[in-house]
Amino acid sequence: MPSYNPKAIEPRWQDYWDKHKTFRAPDLADKPKFYVLDMFPYPSGAGLHVGHPEGYTATDILARYRRMRGYNVLHPMGWDAFGLPAEQYAIETGTHPRVTTQKNIATFRRQIKMLGFSYDWDREVDTTDPSYVKWTQWIFLQIFDTWYDAEHKRGRPIAELPIPPEVRAQGEAAVRRYQDQHRLAYMAEVPVNWCPALGTVLANEEVVDGKSERGGHPVVRMPLRQWMLRITAYAERLLEDLEALDWSPAIKEMQRNWIGRSEGAEVDFALADGGPGRPAIRVFTTRPDTLFGATYMVLAPEHPLVPAITTPGQRAAVDAYREQAARKSDLERTELSKTKTGVFTGAFAINPVNGERIPIWIADYVLVSYGTGAIMAVPAHDERDFEFARQFGLPIRTVVRPPDDWLAQTGSTLDQLTEAYCGDGVAVDSGPFTGLPTAEFKKQITAWLEERGLGQRKINYKLRDWLFSRQRYWGEPFPILHELDEHGQRTGLMRPLTLADLPLTLPEMEDFKPTGKPEPPLSKAVDWVNVTLDGKRYQRETNTMPQWAGSCWYYLRYLDPHNDQAFVDPAKERYWMPVDLYVGGAEHAVLHLLYARFWHKVLYDRGYVSTPEPFQKLVNQGMILGEMEFTVGDRRYTEDEVEKRGDVFVLKADPTVRVEARAYKMSKSRGNVINPDQVVEEYGADSMRLYEMFMGPLEATKPWSMRGVEGVYRFLGRVWRLMIDERADELRLADAVQDVEPDRETLRLLHRTIQRVTDDLETMSFNTAIAAMMEFTNHLTRLTTRPRSVLEPFVLLLSPFAPHIAEELWQTLGHPQSLAYEPWPAYDPALVKADTVEVPVQVNGKVKARLTVPADIEDHALQEAALADVKIRPLVEGKTIRKLVVVKGKLVNIVI
RNA sequence: GCCGAAGUGGCGGAAUGGCAGACGCGCCGGACUCAAAAUCCGGUCCACGCAAGUGGGUGUGGGUUCAAGUCCCACCUUCGGCACCA
């Protein structure tokens, strides 16, 4: 096989690496460690997508590079294998999800192995494996066993939760209930997103525009008793600790927005006309400085005080509105938000700052789940309140003076606003606070309210507690038993399983279909559900955990995947953590990363991990789009049929027809999906890897191009021919390869290339690293004798990118061992420098001449040479030189 | 609407404030070949010109600077995220 034949080379080296366990990472080595992690895939039935190898190749290159730099590299792969699609498929075909899942994993493993990634396959994890589930359940029990000590800002064992004496006085059951209310994992009756088509409840995050994220099925709201994780307790730390992480500003911002911290005040509005016993209405506001402008209040329709305050005359209208709101999904609530709706309750409240009576309304633009579920409405300074006030003819009172140009621009006057002014300003019409700027007002009014017991400073978050249960079969069972009384009814008390009881595996069931009701399929496994323990009867929890559970800690299991005594050995955890580089798609920017960070912090508080954050550096690879398409309406054209005229593409045949030229997201329906199997079949894994890295910056969205793959394939062919005799029948070195000293320029270019590739690897600029190697290859191609001392380091440079061809060449160059642990080539800075350089000479910033001068030329010599140049002299003669800029060894600019 | 990222040849893209377009694709020409493919060599931002050359050019308009794709201000477009969060 004398010509480059990846099909012959690649499987052989993959076998070699497998057999020799070349990439096995020793547990605890003296070497510095480097933990480089990919977001593990969900093994879907569709097989690997070209998007997967993009991130995997990037991390693989760095893993191989770091090994050569002497690091102990941890580079693992596994399967996020619980999840809806496998179960959906199972329901449709009657196949057990375990069967489908294992089949899909086998496909994914084959495809990933065919790309030659240097994973330590001994560390492979599968979230559905009972030995993995065991520890997912164990971690859940740790969360269950933890309460959040707000004072010390950390999670602590539930046994350390202070029990108020009045609770203790009520006895053992009361204490347990009190504890259960404070656990980080707790059960609550919550309005959930019930999806009838999927037969499950979905997390808020799994609902997009009122439809299920998977499948786009409609979702309705209904109250249900569910498991919740108290992620909100960690909101502040999740926010603060972002600071020190080496993540892209975009992702950090997305997480910050999701957490949605806002600072303000809670203020109590007393009910008018009420006796001393009537409760006050508490609102949250970020603008306590606008209290004097509050002209009405709004409660969420679900607010618990609504029935109590509604006057008889308004009851019918209020009840009707509440019922209507309850039926509406979130989608309908927002979609119909063009015009605001609401109903007056008939009740009035007293504005605490001025004693004014203001009406209390209910409206669905106020959400029961945020803040206190009630607001004070300041229509002059809040867009939503302004719109509502207009709708219902409520008074609008300006209490912050807008800037004059804003008034002019909007056509407003101080008394007649045409829209709400939401900016800062100086207070007007605000009693004793009139004249204060917004920030100062906020401070003073908050203190004023606190003194009088009317309010206090308050921080609120958009982040909600995490709905953690699903009504599905294919997930981790909760390791929880519900206590039954003598009548077989649940008492509400729970008993966690112990480590010895784990893993609690799924019962084998003939029928794992959803029940069609919010009753989980596991409830049908009667034998499994009913348990007697220590003479007491229990029922197992029949919900299962969501897919996120397994992915919240898999990066820890890789450290010690076969340990059956602990989820990870503490010494190994200390050695490897944190993850030095985590690469994956931006679709996980918020949820997976936030959930994993939350679990990690709980484990950290409980002393099981040593770092407060799991992922030190995070990089999101960009999306790979399909090939460029030229379309007019639905009609597609080829590149040859169109041309560019000015800024747009038109048909060659009819230039009046404008052609849409762009690349689209790959999708089955569009028919533009690229299959990695085919690419590897045709060009080999090395070309696939190289192309995905050469397309452009890792983080950019970029279109696929088969011609581009061909381009890098040709490059590898050129590299091959640099060293291999193509005409020979046997694999042997070309005659041009000789043990001679390289010429000066070749040596310089070699060192320059080492420098460029090394620097680019450090900054993950893979595309330019490849360009540098291409340039060097072009130089070597022109040489008739090619020194071995140049080719060998070059092969090492190439090896992280295209490992199969590099191993093959390395072996042919006479090395019997894999190059995986060869030292990375070093460059000599002295050799990188050229002897002479070309320096442009500008006159008034325009290049007019070029000088070839010694690289280390002194400024004054360069200046003289520039002025003396034949092209420059006539341009400057007789003119006054106003300024002369000399950039050392780089450029001369003469300003006249 | 708000937040974030990005706009450079026919295409993907490259450029610590210092020669815009590296590298690759495509295209044009040449060599090799009976021929083709493959390969190798050369050319390829646009306009004018036989040429030497001249002028223009990094989404638009301004600004800072000896010098701006790069820095500042305003705007336009595309992509991604959030979206009644008080």
In terms of DSSP bridges, do strands A658-665 and A648-651 run parallel, antiparallel, or are they unpaired? antiparallel
Among residues A461, A476, A506, the one where a domain terminates is: A461
Domain membership of residue A334 (yes or no) is yes
Distance A657 CA to B47 C1' (A): 26
For residues A158 and A494, the answer to whether their CB atoms sit within 8 Å is no
Distance A767 CA to B39 C1' (A): 25
Question: Which positions of chain B lie under 7 Å from any protein Cβ?
Answer: 3-5, 10-16, 18-20, 22-26, 38-41, 66-68, 79-86
Distance A258 CA to B5 C1' (A): 18
Say yes or no: ipTM exceeds 0.85. Answer: yes
Same domain, A779 and A870: no
DSSP string for A48-107: --THHHHHHHHHHHHHHHHHHTT-EEE---EE---SHHHHHHHHHH---HHHHHHHHHHH
Distance A282 CA to B86 C1' (A): 12
The pLDDT value recorded for residue A647 is: 80
Scanning every strand, the nucleotide with its C1' closest to A772's CA turns out to be B23
Consecutive H or E run containing A649: strand A648-651
Scanning every strand, the nucleotide with its C1' closest to A890's CA turns out to be B18
pLDDT of A210 > 70? The answer is no
Distance A621 CA to B74 C1' (A): 33
Among A21-35, A487-501, A720-734, the range scoring the smallest mean pLDDT is A720-734
Among residues A800, A830, A860, the one where a domain terminates is: A830
What phi, psi does A892 have (nearest 5°)?
-125, 135
| Domain tally, chain A | 3
Scanning every strand, the nucleotide with its C1' closest to A694's CA turns out to be B24
Among residues A441, A461, A481, the one where a domain terminates is: A461
Strand B within 7 A of A889 CB: no
Same domain, A745 and A885: no
pLDDT in tens, A81-118: 998 888 888 888 888 999 999 999 999 999 999 999 99
The pLDDT value recorded for residue A463 is: 93
Residues 581-620 of A with CB under 7 A from strand B: 586-587, 589-590
Q: How confident is the model at residue A332 (pLDDT cuts 50, 70, 90)?
A: low
pLDDT in tens, A263-277: 999 999 999 876 667
Domain membership of residue A474 (yes or no) is no
pLDDT in tens, A779-803: 999 999 999 999 999 999 999 999 9
Residues 277-316 of A with CB under 7 A from strand B: 284-287, 300
Same domain, A803 and A879: no
Distance A741 CA to B15 C1' (A): 33
Same domain, A799 and A706: yes
The pLDDT value recorded for residue A652 is: 84
Scanning every strand, the nucleotide with its C1' closest to A364's CA turns out to be B84
Domain membership of residue A727 (yes or no) is yes
Q: Which two tokens stand for residue A273?
A: 């006309």
Residues 368-397 of A with CB under 7 A from strand B: 370-371, 373, 375, 382, 384
* H-only helix segments in A736-802: 744-762, 766-782, 788-798
Q: How confident is the model at residue A323 (pLDDT cuts 50, 70, 90)?
A: confident
In terms of DSSP bridges, do strands A480-484 and A490-496 run parallel, antiparallel, or are they unpaired? antiparallel
Mean pLDDT for the stretch of residues A216-231: 84
Mean pLDDT for the stretch of residues A445-449: 96
Q: How confident is the model at residue A843 (pLDDT cuts 50, 70, 90)?
A: confident
Task: Give the number of other Cβ atoms within 10 Å of residue A404's Cβ.
Answer: 8
Same domain, A706 and A749: yes
Residues 719-778 of A with CB under 7 A from strand B: 721, 765, 767-768, 770-771, 774-775, 778
| Domain span holding position A293 | 261-461
Distance A563 CA to B40 C1' (A): 58
Distance A365 CA to B85 C1' (A): 11
Domain membership of residue A104 (yes or no) is no
Domain membership of residue A134 (yes or no) is no
* H-only helix segments in A21-50: none
Going from the C-alpha of A523 to that of each of A88, A377, A533, the distances in angstroms are 18, 47, 19
Distance A850 CA to B18 C1' (A): 14
d(CA A221, CA A192): 6
Distance A316 CA to B25 C1' (A): 71
Distance A844 CA to B15 C1' (A): 22
pLDDT in tens, A650-690: 888 888 888 888 899 998 888 899 999 999 999 999 999 99
Identify the residue whose Cα has the smallest distance to the C1' of B23.
A771
Distance A626 CA to B18 C1' (A): 39
Same domain, A359 and A414: yes
Tell me, what CATH number does A852's domain have? 3.10.20.590
Identify the residue whose Cα has the smallest distance to the C1' of B24.
A711
pLDDT of A338 > 70? The answer is no
Residues 2-41 of A with CB under 7 A from strand B: none
Same domain, A742 and A884: no
Distance A771 CA to B22 C1' (A): 8
Q: Classify the C-alpha dihedral A339-A345-A346-A351 as positive or negative.
A: negative
Residues 343-372 of A with CB under 7 A from strand B: 364-367, 370-371
Distance A404 CA to B19 C1' (A): 51
Average pLDDT, chain A: 91
Q: How confident is the model at residue A373 (pLDDT cuts 50, 70, 90)?
A: very high
Tell me, what CATH number does A712's domain have? 1.10.730.10
Same domain, A418 and A307: yes
Among A152-166, A192-206, A757-771, the range scoring the smallest mean pLDDT is A192-206
Scanning every strand, the nucleotide with its C1' closest to A3's CA turns out to be B38
| Burial class, A120, CB count within 10 angstroms (exposed 0-12 / middle 13-18 / buried 19+) | buried
A773 or A46, greater pLDDT: A773
Residues 446-465 of A with CB under 7 A from strand B: 460, 462
Same domain, A890 and A753: no
Going from the C-alpha of A287 to that of each of A358, A427, A446, A460, A714, the distances in angstroms are 18, 12, 10, 13, 64
Same domain, A842 and A824: no
Mean pLDDT for the stretch of residues A342-367: 94
Dihedral of the alpha carbons of A209, A214, A220, A223, in degrees to the nearest 10? -120
Domain membership of residue A721 (yes or no) is yes
**Could you identify the residue written with the tokens 């960070």?**
A597
DSSP annotation of A160 reads G
Scanning every strand, the nucleotide with its C1' closest to A284's CA turns out to be B86
For residues A504 and A497, the answer to whether their CB atoms sit within 8 Å is yes
The pLDDT value recorded for residue A337 is: 55
Scanning every strand, the nucleotide with its C1' closest to A334's CA turns out to be B84
Mean pLDDT for the stretch of residues A770-777: 97
d(CA A392, CA A257): 32
Domain membership of residue A16 (yes or no) is no
d(CA A134, CA A124): 16
Domain membership of residue A770 (yes or no) is yes
The CA-CA-CA angle for residues A552, A557, A563, to 5°, reads 140
Distance A645 CA to B47 C1' (A): 15
Same domain, A275 and A352: yes
Scanning every strand, the nucleotide with its C1' closest to A376's CA turns out to be B86
Tell me, what CATH number does A347's domain have? 3.90.740.10
Strand B within 7 A of A324 CB: no
Same domain, A771 and A865: no
| Burial class, A587, CB count within 10 angstroms (exposed 0-12 / middle 13-18 / buried 19+) | exposed
The pLDDT value recorded for residue A764 is: 95
Mean pLDDT for the stretch of residues A582-587: 91
